Amino acid sequence: MIIKFLKNNFALIASFLASLILSGIIILLLGENPFRIFGIFISSAFGSWNNIAYTLFFATPLIFTGLSVAVCFRCGLFNIGAEGQLYMGAFACAYVGFTFADFPGYLLIPLSILFSIGAGGFIGLIPGYLKAKTGAHEVIVTIMLNFIAIGFTGYFVSGPFKNPGDLIPQTQLISESAHIPKIGELFGILGIKSSIPLNFSFIIAVFICLLVYFIFKYTTFGYEIKAVGLNKKAASASGINVNRIIILTFVLGGAIAGLVGVNEVMGYRYRFLDGFSAGYGYLGIAVALLGRNHPAGVFISAVIFGAVMRGGLLVDVYSDKISKDFVYIIQGILILFVVSGELWNKFRIQIDAEKQR
């Protein structure tokens, strides 16, 4: 069982180890002890329940964006637009939160969540529609749409919806009835401090993982997504409306990315802040890639990336030679290794040949 797992995921594991070694060498070059640094990474990410909570907090947006990319990948579509989708989702969420401030929580919370989903889905609809109707390549359209969506939200918070009196572009605070609880408040037993920003949206993220798994495995829609992703011609010949599936998949992907807004706005900052995303949308591509587009894989790789982000913060504190931007280096190296499929194939063939001798 374990051997089979290792064999099936050879490229991933090899990439992981190679990235670890290369990062270690860079740490050494920077004049630090790699073992000490990796030690800080691991202990600060997983050392205690509180640390794990921090890691999961960083993982939450990555679960959403990773799933968003993975859903589209399954359909043979490349969603680089999660970044724009999540900005729109977050803004819509905040908008509802401060506009309908006198709504009670049981109304406002679902409404806010619905708006993040809707706004993200709408931004996802555009590349899907354009792909289906004109064949416009979704990669270029989503890259451009990111800047357009971020431009719009940037305009909103520096213009009409800017919180008066603030120096930085951000909206006013959302109504308290739209706040979702922190995990520390929900599960007191684990002793997680309620100051740790991990919140209910993590549970939503886990739920969406399960939902995506369910869609993939148990619905005709999931079946049709897979068919279109693997072979458009055969799918079409079998009676599947390929264009409809492309559009719906992109909307679903956008909607999931929009949920990042729930974590950011309803669970963490309680307002929309311009430029809040640390490239979550782009990292989602790496998360999906590393997670092999499987919901469980996405969850695990989001946690790994979250741990790297969490560890990076503490490394920044405990080492004067390595700043928190080191996280980007680890992520970049990992992406490049994972995507070099043929490199590992060559390795594998060589190993197999050695064995047969």
Partner 1 sequence: MELFDIGILTSTIRLSTPLILCAIGGLYSERGGVVNIALEGLLLFGAFSAAVVAYYTGNPWLGLLAGAVTGVFIAFLHGLVSITFLGDQIVSGMGINILALGVPAVFSGAFFNTPSSTPSIEKILPSLNIPVIEDIPLLGEILSGYTVPVYLSYAAVIITYFVLFYTIFGLRLRAVGENPKAAESLGVNVIRYKYYGVLLSGLLAGIGGAFLSVGHGTQFIKNMSAGRGYIALAALIFGKWHPFKTLLACLIFGFADALQMRLQGVIGIPVQFIQMIPYILTILVIVGFIGKAVPPAASGVPYRKG
Partner 2 sequence: MKPCIRLKKISKRFGSVLANDDVNLTVYSGEIHSIVGGNGAGKTTLMNILYGLVKPDSGEIFINGEKTDIRSSKNAISKDIGMIHQDFLFIENMDAVDNIILGKEPLKMGIVDKKKAKKKIKNLSEKYHLSFDVDKNISELSMGERQRIEIVKVLYRNAKILILDEPTAVLTPQEVKELFNILRALKKGGSTIIFISHKLKEVLEISDRISIMRSGRMVKTLSAKDAELKDLAVKMIGGELPEIEEKHYQGDEKVLVSVDNLSLKSKDGKKILKDISFEIKSGEIFGIAGIEGNGQKELEECLTGNLIYDSGSITVECAILWDISSKYFKDNGVSRIPSNRNELGLISGFKLYENLILGYINDKPFSNFCLLNYNEINKECKKIVKDYDIEPPDIYQLTENLSGGNQQKVVIGREFSKEPLFLIAAHPTRGVDIKGSWFIHKKLRENREKGSAVLLISSDLEELFTLCDRIGVIYNGEIVDIVKPENITFDEIGVLMLSGLTSFR
Chain positions contacting partner 2, by CB under 8 A = 217-221, 223-224, 226-227, 230-231, 233-241
Q: Give the interface segment with partner 1, choosing from 131-139, 180-188, 209-217, 242-250 (CB under 8 A).
A: 131-139
Q: Compute the half-sphere exposure of residue 331: CA atoms within 13 Å on the CB side of its CA.
A: 28
Residues present in the chain in total: 357
Q: Please, which of residues 159-188 interact with partner 1 by CB under 8 A?
A: 159
| Nearest-approach distance from CB 189 to partner 2, in angstroms | 36
Q: How far is CA 95 from CA 90, 153, 178, 262, 271, in A?
A: 9, 11, 11, 12, 9
- Residue of 141, 198, 255, 260 interacting with partner 1 (CB under 8 A): 141
| Nearest-approach distance from CB 114 to partner 2, in angstroms | 21
What string of DSSP letters covers 34-84? HHHHHHHHHHHHHSSHHHHHHHHHHHHHHHHHHHHHHHHHHTT----THHH
| Choice between 90 and 196, CB closer to partner 1 | 90
String marking each residue 85-104 x if it binds partner 1 according to CB under 8 A: --------------------
| Residue 186 binds which of partner 2, partner 1, none (CB < 5-8 A, kind-dependent) | none
| Residue 141 binds which of partner 1, partner 2, none (CB < 5-8 A, kind-dependent) | partner 1
- Residue of 16, 38, 46, 152 interacting with partner 1 (CB under 8 A): 152
Q: How far is CA 258 from CA 34, 255, 320, in A?
A: 37, 5, 37
Residue 286, amino acid: A
Burial pattern 188-205, b for ≥16 Cβ within 10 A else e, equals eeeebeeebbbbbbbebb
By the rule CB under 8 A, 154 interacts with partner 1:
yes
Q: Please, which of residues 270-309 interact with partner 1 by CB under 8 A?
A: 279, 282-283, 285-286, 289
| Nearest-approach distance from CB 222 to partner 1, in angstroms | 23
By the rule CB under 8 A, 151 interacts with partner 1:
yes
Q: How far is CA 234 from CA 76, 130, 230, 237, 240, in A?
A: 14, 22, 9, 5, 9
| Residue 38 binds which of partner 2, partner 1, none (CB < 5-8 A, kind-dependent) | none
Q: Give the interface segment with partner 1, choosing from 58-66, 190-198, 296-304, 321-329 (CB under 8 A).
A: 321-329
Task: Count other Cβ atoms within 10 Å, centred on residue 282.
Answer: 18
Query: Rounded distance, CA 357 to CA 353, Å?
Result: 6
Query: Rounded distance, CA 155 to CA 146, Å?
Result: 14
| Nearest-approach distance from CB 236 to partner 2, in angstroms | 7
| Residue 344 CB partners (closer than 8 Å, separation 6+) | 10, 11, 14, 15
| Choice between 226 and 294, CB closer to partner 2 | 226
Q: How far is CA 33 from CA 30, 43, 45, 327, in A?
A: 9, 16, 18, 16
| Residue 16 binds which of partner 1, partner 2, none (CB < 5-8 A, kind-dependent) | none
Decide if 174 contacts 98 (C-beta within 8 A): yes
By the rule CB under 8 A, 341 interacts with partner 1:
yes
String marking each residue 68-87 x if it binds partner 1 according to CB under 8 A: ----------x-x-------
Nearest Cα residue to 291 out of 209, 208, 217: 209
| Nearest-approach distance from CB 144 to partner 1, in angstroms | 4
By the rule CB under 8 A, 313 interacts with partner 1:
no
Query: Rounded distance, CA 97 to CA 74, Å?
Result: 33
The gap from C-alpha 250 to its chain's centroid, in whole angstroms, comes to: 15
Q: Interface with partner 1 by CB under 8 A: which residues?
A: 30-31, 78, 80, 130, 134, 136-137, 139-141, 143-145, 147-148, 151-152, 154-155, 158-159, 279, 282-283, 285-286, 289, 320-323, 325-333, 335-336, 339-343
